[in-house]
Each structure stands twice: as structure tokens, then as C-alpha cells.
Structure 1
Amino acid sequence: MKLSKELYPEAEKYREWVNNQLTIGKELLYLTQADVRNIQITHEEILDLTEKALVAYSKKNVDMPAKIGIHPLHETFYHAMPAYAPEAFAAGIKWGSCYPGNSRKYGYPQAEGLIIFNDHLSGIPIAILDCIYVTEIRTAAVTYASIKKLANPYTKTFGMIGCGVEGRQHVKNIEQVLPKLKEIYVYDIFEEAVDHLIKDLQPGLKAKIIKAASLEELVRKSEVIASATVITEQPEPKIKDEWIEGGKTILLCDCHSLYEDKTIKRADKYLVDSIEQHELLKGYGYYPYGLPDIYAETGEVVGESKKGRENNAELIVCNNVGMAVEDMYVVRSLFDKALTNGVGRKLPL
């Protein structure tokens, strides 16, 4: 997908504005994780940008190849994630890694990475920024966008599997898309993570956060279930098919890692964010039993070219592994805000 002639004049104006703040070709903006976290962007803005990215991808209005990866150690990966969104004047690449053992071995977070953001008219890099906060907020926003179309709007119980960075982000604003919630069940193999989540987030929520005694309790009691755990090289089912009734909405940020194949394949509707991406992951071995028939891409439902939930009996599984185009939409907004408010450091290129 290339920039249209109709958008070119506006793109030139945007480039001129950037060049007045930052000399393109001579400087770039460097944003640390702390810098990025300190840029003021609302939940509503993030959700809107993410929804636009999902729809643009499924309408084929972006240039985004499936992310390729390398896997140096067992259960680790690096992903290279380039994308160009012409309508957002946003082009760049994220280089991110996931090493689940980092905390135990070195005291580092399990996920790390950087984003290079480019001037799409010249190809010149104009920013380098930490990718962790961007990934946190847009990943949760994809789940929220999915919930809006796939969950019963009167849902009273939500379950979050995984209470790390992503799990916390999911729980933090969940009431914005499920306003009728009464109970939020949370579970993690690290009990301390659960305790910290409840202590930190309960004061800001109306729904009661409940520490699930087991995965079974969480799954059986939750109408909508999200999971953000380690993506294992092959599924390691910990959730039994018999625990899952019709009517549930299951939202995956971790492929099929936790669920039995028969659960995934009996869904009334099975969605993915990117068919191309999941076909590539299948080639890597992440889906040894194959993928189910895909009803739609998430962006098709968000953009309403395909129907979402049609009745309260449907079992719906939505598998969103994350896309670079989501990063680029959000980064464009953060970059503009950083320039406007003098956040970050200008470095010679």
C-alpha cells in the first residue's frame, strides 16, 4: 500500500511541521521508557487509534508483512515488526524480544525492545523509542476493541489469566468496555503478582477483584476471559474443555498456549487479528494441530464488515497476537505529543 496522490499534500504539511521541531536528516528524537510513559495520552485515544489500525489492516489499507522471528533459546523469541500506515503518515519497525526467564536469572523484564519511527516521505529515521509501554497499551486496547463487538454488553464477570504487565493493563480499564461488571477474577502462577495487582488496581475499580483459587474457578465463573501469559513453542493446555460453556468470549494474547485444541475448534466464531501472521506462526510450529476455520479478522468485526456476537449462546474465541500497524498508529500520536511538549532528547543523526 502506497501513499495516495490525494494525501500527498497533507503528508508534506505534516513533514514540514515535524521539520520545524526537529531537523530531519540531522536529528532524531530519543524517548526512553520513562519518557514514553510520561506522555499524556488517554485510554479513549489509545482505543480509537487501535481500532483505526485494526480496520485499516483488514481493509488492506496498510503495508504490513507478517512479523518474522528468531528463537535463540527455548521459549524465547525476537520479532521484527515493520509497518506503514499511509493514512496515519506512520512508518517504522519494532524489534522486540521475549525472554520469560529474565526476571529470575538477571532481574530484567521478560519483554524488551525498541521502535524506529521514520519520515515516510524520505525514509529518514526521526525517532527511536522504547517499545514496552506502546506494546502494553495497544495490546490491551485490541482486547477492548474485540470485547466491544464480541462480548455480551451486560457481562458481569471477567477473568484475567496472567497478572504481569499486560494483565494489569487489561484489568485497569476493563470497566470502560464492560460497564456492568460486578466481579473480576484474576490468576497467575506467581501469587505475588496477583496480590500486587489487587492492591494497586482495586481502588480505581467499582467491580470487586477476586483472587481465583485455580484456573478452573476463574474459567467457570467468568463470562469473558482474557489471557496474557507466555507464548509456548507448542500449546501446553492447562484449561480443560469441560470447564467452558457456550456463551463465553475467550480473548487470547498468547496464541493457543493454554487451551485444548478441541475447545478452540468448537468455537462458533474463531477470529484472528491477521490471517497472514497466524499462518506464519503455524509454520513455526505454534499451531501443531492446525488452525480452525477463521470466521473473520478482528478488524473486520471492529469495522462492522462482519458481524460480531449475534446471540448469548455463541462460544467466541479471538486470537490477537499483536500487529506492528497498531504500534505505528499509537507511536505517531506519541511522537507528535513529545515534539509539542518537549519530551525526550534530540540526538545527532
Structure 2
Amino acid sequence: MSLNLSKEEYKKAEEYRAWIETRLPIGKELLYLTQEDVRSIPISPEEILELTEKSLAAYSRKNADMPAKIGIHPLPGTFYHAMPAYAPEAFAAGIKWGSCYPENQKKYGYPQAEGLILFNDHLSGIPIAILDCIYVTEIRTAAVTYASIKKLASSDAKTFGMIGCGVEGRQHVKNIEKVLPSLKEIYVYDISKDAENCLIQELQGEVGAVIKKADSLETLVRNSEVIASATIITEQPEPKIKDEWITSGKTILLCDCHSLYEDKTVKRADKYLVDSIEQHELLKGYGYYPYGLPEIYAETGEVVGGEKQGRVTKDELIVCNNVGMAIEDMYVVRDLFDKALENGIGRKLPL
């Protein structure tokens, strides 16, 4: 899909390119940012959320060029995803190449998720940066959940449940009170009790709500008004949460497709949303939704951008399925790239 810039936008794009040239000779060098470099770049949770909201709205308004991510699956339960996107509003173009190998930690001592982002000058196509994608994925994934919560959950919710206490789970809990300021209790659950303990030890002093270990998924689900899950995306759903535990008024945020929930739960939701219809239709073709998708009320960006209503009544059951989009990465990467140049972070490599 071609997205032409107006004369005014093109002028601003040229000005941005000229600004980069004062710090990085395009076509001769590119900026290389390790994961440690990326994590050291100063960016606030509020900035990340604002960038993520802009990306969601831009995608659903068709002001972005982002094909559904394609993948390969070398071993059972593993995948690589190729995620390209162009955001004309941010003058940002690039691609993320990420993998997920759930057995990595046990077998090799590596994290289960790894990957890189290639960031380009969108006026010439020249690569201008290569950076680790893990931190970018961490912060924008949680920010999509926050953006969804702002529109889909009751603002006075007192309880939040986090299923999965790994990197993403910790990132979700860390700043959840910025969108749910009335929280009193945060329930966490993970099959690894060490992961639960690590989350609580790391974050209890940073959040005002009391973080509690749920003794079961049932305990977490029954006691939480808003529930987020960031677990392994299984090739087919492996329901562990019974439909009878889900009562009206709950907001369910998925980062892991339908892996944990029964088909009847997602299909009886009063509102069912996805971040990208095209992406989820492709995933359905891969077999991730063997029972089909529920009727889709809206894309997340339509609600975030104000084109469609979010929560209207207290008793609505709302399910929002955000699997992650490259457009979110590009908005965040553009900001991180600029800040890295401004602060002298990273290493310049010959191109």
C-alpha cells in the first residue's frame, strides 16, 4: 500500500533527514544499539503509552503500511516472525525479525525470545540503525494493554490479575496503576513460583497496590476485574481457564491469542476486539484459531482513536486480543533512535 506524503509532510521529512545527517552520515554509517544500549535510552512510561496510542490509531485509520506478519516454524512450538511497517506520520520504516523458542532457557540458558530491528531512512531506503528488539517489544506490548484498559476497563477497578510473571508480566504490573489508579490488589500467577517471587520482590516497593500470589488460575480469575495474560502462544488453544469462572463486567486482555481461554468464553463476550483483523485472519489460517474467531466488534485502534466506543456499561464482558504489531515498534523505535543520537548512545558502524 502506497502512502503519499503531502508537500508539507515531505518538507518535514527532508528536514528530519537533514537532522539525522548532522549526527549520522546516511549511506556511510548506521547506528548499532545493543539491548543494554536500548535499555539505557531515556524514555518515560507516559511517552511510550502516547507513542503506542498514536500507532494503534494510525493503523486502524489506514495511515500506515503494515502487512500481516508472516512466520516460519522450524521446530514444534517455535516461530520466527517477519514484521515490516511504515508509519508516514512518524517518518519511520523498518522491519523486526523476532523468534520465540520456549525451551531456550532450559536447554541453552538463553531467553525464549530474541530478535533485531532494522530501521531505515524512509526517503532513500538506506538502513540507518540496527537494534535489539527485546526491550522495544517489552515496553510497547505492555503499553498496548494499557491503551486498551483506558478505553475498555472500568476506571475505578480495584483488582487486576496478571497471568505470566516473566519479562512481559513484570512490565505489565510495573506501570499498571498509571491506567488503573484505584487498584488495591494485584493478583499474579505463573507455573514458575520463582517467577512469581521475583515479580513481587522486584515490584512490590514500586506499586501502591498489594501484590498477591494466586494459588490457582481460578483464584486469580474470580478475584480480578481486569485480567491480562502474557504466556506462550500455543499452536492451538490449550484452555486452562474455565468459562464458569468468567463473570460479567470483566475486561480480559490477551497477549497470547486464545491459548488459555475456552472458545465459548471469547464468543460470548459483549465486545471482542483485535489489534489487526488482517493479522488474526492470517493466524487463523495458520491454525491458531481452530474454532474460528468471534464476531469482531472493532480493532483496538478504532477504540483508542475514538472511532468506536469502548466500555459503555459496568456489566459488559470485554475481550481484547492484541497479538502485537510492527507499527507499534516503528513509532517507539523512531523515538529511541532520535534520543540515542541526541545522547550519543550506541556505536556507529560502517555501512
* Interval containing the TM-score (normalised by the shorter chain): over 0.9
Distance in 2, Cα, partners of 1:114 & 1:203 = 32
Q: Secondary structure at the match of 1:343?
A: coil
Q: How does 1:162-173 map to 2 (within 5 A)?
A: 162-173=164-175
For 1:4, the equivalent position in structure 2 comes to 5
Q: How does 1:268-347 map to 2 (within 5 A)?
A: 268-347=270-349
Q: Does 1:100 align with 2:99?
A: no
Distance in 2, Cα, partners of 1:74 & 1:42 = 38
What amino acid is the match of 2:5?
A: S
For 1:65, the equivalent position in structure 2 comes to 67
What amino acid is the match of 2:189?
A: Y
For 1:260, the equivalent position in structure 2 comes to 262
TM-score, normalised on structure 2?
0.99
Distance in 1, Cα, partners of 2:51 & 2:171 = 17
For 2:144, the equivalent position in structure 1 comes to 142
For 1:236, the equivalent position in structure 2 comes to 238
Moved over 2 A (4+): none
Compute the displacement of 1:4 (Å).
1.2
Compute the displacement of 1:318 (Å).
0.0
For 2:251, the equivalent position in structure 1 comes to 249
For 2:88, the equivalent position in structure 1 comes to 86
Q: Secondary structure at the match of 2:227?
A: strand
Distance in 1, Cα, partners of 2:74 & 2:251 = 34
For 1:184, the equivalent position in structure 2 comes to 186
What amino acid is the match of 1:39?
A: I
What amino acid is the match of 1:92?
A: G
Q: How does 1:118-129 map to 2 (within 5 A)?
A: 118-129=120-131
Q: Secondary structure at the match of 1:203?
A: coil
Distance in 1, Cα, partners of 2:342 & 2:4 = 25
Distance in 2, Cα, partners of 1:340 & 1:175 = 31
What amino acid is the match of 1:337?
A: K
Q: Secondary structure at the match of 1:321?
A: coil
Compute the displacement of 1:49 (Å).
0.1
Q: How does 1:145-156 map to 2 (within 5 A)?
A: 145-156=147-158
Compute the displacement of 1:59 (Å).
0.1
For 1:48, the equivalent position in structure 2 comes to 50
What amino acid is the match of 1:4?
A: L
Q: CA RMSD in A?
A: 0.4
Distance in 1, Cα, partners of 2:158 & 2:89 = 37
Distance in 2, Cα, partners of 1:39 & 1:300 = 30
Distance in 2, Cα, partners of 1:105 & 1:289 = 33
Distance in 2, Cα, partners of 1:194 & 1:112 = 22
Compute the displacement of 1:3 (Å).
3.6
Q: Secondary structure at the match of 1:41?
A: coil
Q: Secondary structure at the match of 1:7?
A: helix
What amino acid is the match of 1:83?
A: A
Q: Secondary structure at the match of 1:340?
A: helix
Q: How does 1:107-122 map to 2 (within 5 A)?
A: 107-122=109-124
TM-score, normalised on structure 1?
1.00
Compute the displacement of 1:20 (Å).
1.0
Compute the displacement of 1:302 (Å).
0.3
What amino acid is the match of 2:199?
A: L
Distance in 1, Cα, partners of 2:18 & 2:4 = 17
For 1:220, the equivalent position in structure 2 comes to 222
Distance in 1, Cα, partners of 2:93 & 2:340 = 17
Q: Secondary structure at the match of 2:50?
A: helix
Compute the displacement of 1:2 (Å).
1.9
What amino acid is the match of 2:76?
A: H
Distance in 1, Cα, partners of 2:5 & 2:75 = 43
Distance in 2, Cα, partners of 1:122 & 1:181 = 48
For 1:204, the equivalent position in structure 2 comes to 206
Distance in 2, Cα, partners of 1:327 & 1:3 = 21
Distance in 2, Cα, partners of 1:19 & 1:286 = 44
Distance in 1, Cα, partners of 2:224 & 2:350 = 52
Unaligned runs of 5+ in 2: none
Q: Residue by residue, what CA displacement relative to the aligned partner does 1:224-278 show, whole Å, maximum 9, x if unpaired?
A: 0000000000000000000000100000000000000000000000000000000
What amino acid is the match of 2:184?
A: K
Distance in 2, Cα, partners of 1:56 & 1:174 = 24
